[in-house]
Structure 1
Amino acid sequence: MTVSSASALTFVEIKGNNRYQTSALIADKQNYTTAILVNSTKSIADGLSASALAGAANAPILLVKQNEIPADVELRLECTNKIYIIGSENAISKNIEDRLKKSGFIVSRIGGKNRYETSVNVGNEVKRVKGGASETFIVNGTKGEADAMSISSVAARDSAPVILTDGKTISADAKKIVNSIPNRYAIGLQGVMDESLVESVGATRVGGKNRFETNKKIINTFYKNVASYYLSKSDQLVDALAASPITKYSPIVLVNKNSDKSVLKGAQKMTALGGIDKATIESCKKAAQ
């Protein structure tokens, strides 16, 4: 981690040698006894729904491989007694699950036959842990990964289930959990979330013409008078996934060199996640002025 300060702006980087070490460094920002494991290579879609559970259980999201827990991540499990595994055995193997159980951890796997079912099962666990939910977010689990990352900060802050759909239809089980929650938001415009789906669940649509505009509208809708932001590469979302538990009150801004960064106007602190190129970082700093 590196820190720099120029005038009123404080700039911080959380950057490991790889995605696994970065997730471990992010976990160091939390006090926790529960952890969530996600395979970011095979099942980032499964992980999209994990942000709400991370908020509900006060747990970091740690990145692992199908058959391996990297050493940096393993070290962060030493302070835990309960571990959630998100996804099927194709994502994180039974060998990993069995080894953790043998080591004395309470292990709960939450998965499903696909990413959509997994999100419903994660959502039900969020409701169980928190005793209910007041908000839920419906996203496109195929074309809306960036949108789901943009909403992950709010989902973690409010313990609000993130329900994945194909953008056109919603399963009976998914509709059941959505209808049980009073405040519903569909993330993305018509090309991502069909109007018929949005109307069928009585959701309020929040979206823009691209991932950057949607990201900005989410921040303007759910955050007021913030001066601290987390920056994440717009085309590599894995760092944003791991960061969702620590971004509850400082939203994630998706950036690249040429993206609209006007939302950063007046920022007093920025934290860059993972390796963001120097030109993009400099343009973010300039946008804060």
Structure 2
Amino acid sequence: MPLQTLPLPPSELGESPFWHPKEKSLYWCDIQGQAVHAWHPDSGTHRQWHMPCEPGCCAPATGGRLVIGLRNGFYLLDTAKDGDDPTALTCLALLPADQHDTAVLRLNDGRCDTAGRFWAGSVITPRTAPHAALWCLQAEATSATGYRVRHMAGDNFTANGLAFSPDNRTMYWSNTPEHRIDRFDFDVSTGEITNRQQWVTFGRKVDGQPYGGRPDGAAVDMEGNYWVAMYEGACVLQLSPAGKVLQRIAVPVQCPTMVCFGGDDLRTLYITSARAGRPQEEREALVTAGALFSIEVGVQGLPVNFFRC
């Protein structure tokens, strides 16, 4: 089945899609639009919840809620409440003020691991120094707030591409402006990451040469392949665990941003894209920048992990 453009309004900066298996719905963030969205394909129902600032990432949480990374920390969203209800959002934990200047830093790409921890990287604007970092949120009964936030890694400009291998032994994390994807050894029992190594790098822009884009959001399938949206590259790449390109899926917008697997069999790849900052011709095209897409693929994706509150 060819790539489908979904009947949804475009996002300014679509990110962090995930398929909710219980609700049979697709969720995603519009970072610049400051909203979280949900779409039920069977009924066509589309909902949104307005946020007080940019939602960089989201994931399902136990109790029918969402965990969200906003600019300054981690929050729970009660999706049973109306999108304009200010009581729908509850703060779980703020990032340490001495390590996270929200004037230039905000949370960006993230997801949960199979142990129910929520991981989120940040982005720095302007990109003057590699001060973006990776944070991990988990419930902890001994903490005064009930939650613990740990600083896990740094040396990044725009944290993206967070994903875990099916055997829980590898964590992937990209630095988008550096055109680089790193990988860590991952211990799911403790949540520790070690042995950071450069995994894959992509070519930079060179005048007169084709440009393939830079790695943005990603997801991993059951076979351990890494699917990554190539920002400004108008495509999604499927990479083997060895980093070899297995497949290139062209998309009709220049800036795909992230992918996830969904549908009952987890063989539908959903793709978000960006509209903010794109040229007028892209915003007015028949398939507009910021659109969402889906395509059937021949491999099953990993199911989404829930945050354990």
- Quickly name the TM-score band, shorter chain normalised: 0.3 to 0.5
Structure number with higher strand proportion = 2
Q: TM-score, normalised by structure 2?
A: 0.34
Higher-helix-fraction structure: 1
